[in-house]
Each structure stands twice: as structure tokens, then as C-alpha cells.
Amino acid sequence: MTLHTIMPLELVLQGYGEEGEPMLDVTAKGIRMLVIPVAPGCGKIVRLLDCSLYDYLDPTLAPGSLITFGFE
Amino acid sequence: MSFGYMNEGIKSNGSEPPPAQPEPQGAPQDEKRKSAAIESIQQLGTVSPPVPAESNIFCMTIIGQVEGHLILPPQNKTTKYEHMIPQLVAAEQNPKIEGVLIVLNTVGGDVEAGLAIAEMIASLSKPVVTLVLGGGHSIGVPIAVSGDLSYIAETATMTIHPIRMNGLVIGVPQTFEYLEKMQERVVRFVTSHSNISETTFKELMFKTGELTRDIGTTVIGADAVKHGLIDNIGGLGDALRSLNGLIETKRAAAPQPSSIDASVAAGIMAASSEVGLEGGATQ
């Protein structure tokens, strides 16, 4: 990995190597995704794991958006 | 609303518990729609709420750090490349999308991810217009020039500087030659997708005295256009107007199957009426 950025690397990588937030592999809206839990049944999308192509165009499924999921 | 509906069901069935009610499948939905309409009259004073039509333009924003193979620490605002790539595939595949607008305000990021996004954009068959707002620095430069037409806001800046040696070393021996090769990829992409010459670009990249802590150049709006890096100065209005223009041109150039069929059919009809049915068949 090579970073080509104007941001000082020490700032970009600050906290790198620390234990990241735990992620959950959940299914919401019929799509398997990785989320960072923020509350029970609610998480912030990290990435989609198994979905159809056009799901990527859905802004509600963009990484960083909140989603509710049930334990299916 | 739904309670009223349930009560009616109970009444009609006497003391029996209401069945699963499969028959009026559409009814609750209709009810919901009706109640939404009533609500919109009450809330907005209009019969139907203003529902925007689906756009034929897909807008993609590239902000913060372009994140590559490693998840960056959470203080970074990142553009995730593993989401952008399939988004571009979907935009290319979706017949409803006729053009793509890329809005950039990035500080750079991973070389591999940035170049991957830039190559994907450059190889789209649909018209793409890029717009640099705020900043399109470092690896944002190849992304900014990857479209069919590029715009930069008058106040927006682009920093052109070499890939530094102090990158994070993970597995790859980052020798000087390696970094130079990586840099060459960026230079080649930028010079082949914009009007800037290799000499000018490298001159800007290795200029000293411009940046306090580094070598390189910051080009602002008009300078980027002067050097041929970006096509025009402009904002959202200009970018969208150009994109719509490109879409129109593409639409006009594309053969329209239905009209061709119609003209072929008309031609056959005319020929057969002129020389008779047999003659028309032989022609």
C-alpha cells in the first residue's frame, strides 16, 4: 500500500494498529453485510458482502449509513 | 387505519377469529396509499407530494481519503473503493443511467485504489463529467482527469507532488525504483487523459519553493486550466449542462432500433408496391 496524499501520514495513520471496532456479519433487507454495531439491532454499514449489482446504487446501503437489522 | 380494517374483518366473520385474509392482498396497501395522499393534503396542501422523477444521471462523490486495501483509522473520512467499483459497474449496466457526474473533494489516498477508480471511470462507455470542488489533491488528480470533460471550481486547488518515500511499508519493498514506477503510472495516466504534457506535469511535480515542507505545486482553478490539466473552469451548472449535452450527442449518434425497423418496413412496403410483391421479395 502506498499513500499519495497531502495529509501528513502521522495524522492519517494516527491510531493505526489499535484494535478496531468489532464488526458483525448480519443480514438486513435480504443483503449480507458487515456492520459496526451502534445499538442493539442497529449498525453502521462497513461494506456489503452479498447483494445484487443495483443494490450498490442504493444510497441507504452506502458504507457509513445506519441500518437496522433483526436476528434472522 | 389498519385497526379499522381489522375490526371490519372481525365483524364480517362473526365470532370466528379473522383468517389470514389472503384475498384483499392489495387492500392494505391501497389504504396506506390513500392515507398518505390524505396526509399530504393535510400537511402540504397538495394532492400528491412532490416526488422527484428518477434521474438519468448518476452522481458519485469522492471525498476525504481514497481508502484502499487497509481500513484507515476512524478519524479519516474515507471513500471506500470496494463500494465505488461495483457502483461504476452498476452505472454502466443500468440502462436508466445515461451519464455520470463525479464530484471530487479529496486529499488523496491509496495509489492502487485511486488509479483503479480512475481507470474504471475512463473506460465507462457513458458520458462522464468530473468536477473538482475544494480540492483534488495527489491521487485525486488522475481521478479528476479521467472523465470525458473536466471542470474545476475557480477556488478549487490541486496539489501535484511526488509519491513520497515515507509511505507505510507493508510487505512490498518500497525502494526508490518501486516508488518511481508507481509515480510513472500516475504521470502516464494524467498525461494521456488530459492536455498537460509530461514535461509540464513533471515540472509541476518536482518544483521546489512552492510548498513549504515538500516539493510540488498547488495549482488553483485557472492555473489547472492554463496548464491543460483540467478542461474548463466552472461549477455545478456548467458541469451538468455539459453532461446533458454529451448525453444528447450520444443519444443522437446512437442508432435507434425502432426507427430503423420502421424505415426498413417502410422501404419494403414502398418497394413491393412499386414492383409488385414478387419483385419486392427479390429486391
In a domain, B167, yes or no: yes
What domain count does chain A have? 1
In a domain, A8, yes or no: no
- Cβ neighbours for B14, distance < 8 A, ≥ 6 positions apart: none
In a domain, B106, yes or no: yes
- Annotated catalytic, B161? yes
pLDDT for residue B234 is more than 50: yes
Q: Tell whether B174 and B72 lie within a shared domain.
A: yes
CB contact at 8 A, A26 and A43: yes
In a domain, B195, yes or no: yes
In a domain, A55, yes or no: yes
How far does A45 lie from chain B, in Å, by closest CA? 11
Q: For residue B136, which of B105, B103, B102, B163 has the smallest C-alpha distance?
A: B105
* Helix or strand holding residue A49 (H, E): strand A42-50
In a domain, B3, yes or no: no
In a domain, A10, yes or no: no
In a domain, B270, yes or no: no
In a domain, A29, yes or no: yes
Q: Tell whether B178 and B142 lie within a shared domain.
A: yes
What domain count does chain B have? 2
Range of the domain at B207: 57-247
Whether residues A1 and B91 touch (CB distance < 8 A) is answered with no
Q: For residue B78, which of B88, B68, B90 has the smallest C-alpha distance?
A: B68
ipTM: 0.91
Mean pLDDT of B232-260: 88
pLDDT digits (tens, 9 = 90+) for B57-93: 999 999 999 998 888 888 889 999 999 999 999 999 9
Query: Between B89, B91, B108, which is nearest A4 by CB?
Result: B108
Please tell me the pTM assigned to this model.
0.76
In a domain, B200, yes or no: yes
Query: Between A13, A20, A62, which is nearest B168 by CB?
Result: A13
In a domain, B13, yes or no: no
Range of the domain at A34: 21-68
Task: A42-51: list long-range contacts, CB under 8 Å, 24+ apart.
Answer: A42/A66, A42/A67, A42/A68, A42/A69, A43/A67, A43/A69, A47/B80, A47/B82, A47/B83, A48/B83, A49/A25
What pLDDT is recorded for position B257?
Answer: 63
Q: Tell whether B118 and B212 lie within a shared domain.
A: yes
Q: Tell whether B30 and B124 lie within a shared domain.
A: no
Q: Which of A4, A9, A12, A33 to mutate to test the interface with B (most CBs of B within 10 A)?
A: A4
In a domain, B2, yes or no: no
Mean pLDDT of A18-29: 87
Whether residues A5 and B65 touch (CB distance < 8 A) is answered with yes
pLDDT for residue B155 is more than 80: yes
Q: Tell whether B113 and B237 lie within a shared domain.
A: yes
CATH number at residue B126: 3.90.226.10
Q: Tell whether B220 and B157 lie within a shared domain.
A: yes
Whether residues B74 and A21 touch (CB distance < 8 A) is answered with yes
How far does A1 lie from chain B, in Å, by closest CA? 7
- Annotated catalytic, B273? no
